[in-house]
Amino acid sequence: MAGVIIVNRGIPVVLGSVAAASTLSLTAAAPTSATTAPNIGRHCVIDLTGHRSMTCHASFQEAIAVASAGHIADAPDDPATAVRSRAFNARVNGLAQRSGTASALVTSIEYDGTQYSGPSIVFTHDKVCTASNLDIDDNLSALPAGWDNRISSFHGYSGCRPRHWEEKLFGGAFTEYQDARETMGIMDNQASSLSWT
Name the one range near Ca ion by CB under 5 A: 49-57, 88-96, 148-156, 174-182.
Answer: 148-156
Which of 158/190 has CB closer to Ca ion?
A: 190
Beta strand spans in 48-197 (E)? 54-57, 105-111, 120-125, 138-140, 153-156, 162-167, 171-175, 180-181, 193-196
When binding is defined by CB under 5 A, the residue of 126, 149, 176, 186 that contacts Ca ion is 149
Name the one range near Ca ion by CB under 5 A: 38-46, 56-64, 65-73, 162-170.
Answer: 162-170
Q: Say whether 186 sits in a helix, a strand or coil.
A: helix
Asked whether position 139 contacts Ca ion by CB under 5 A, the answer is no
Min dist CB 33 to Ca ion, Å, is: 27
Asked whether position 112 contacts Ca ion by CB under 5 A, the answer is yes
Asked whether position 193 contacts Ca ion by CB under 5 A, the answer is no
Q: Please report, to the nearest 10 degrees, the dihedral formed by the alpha carbons of residues 182, 183, 188, 189 taken in order.
A: 30
Q: Say whether 83 sits in a helix, a strand or coil.
A: helix
Which of 112/137 has CB closer to Ca ion?
A: 112
Q: Say whether 62 sits in a helix, a strand or coil.
A: helix
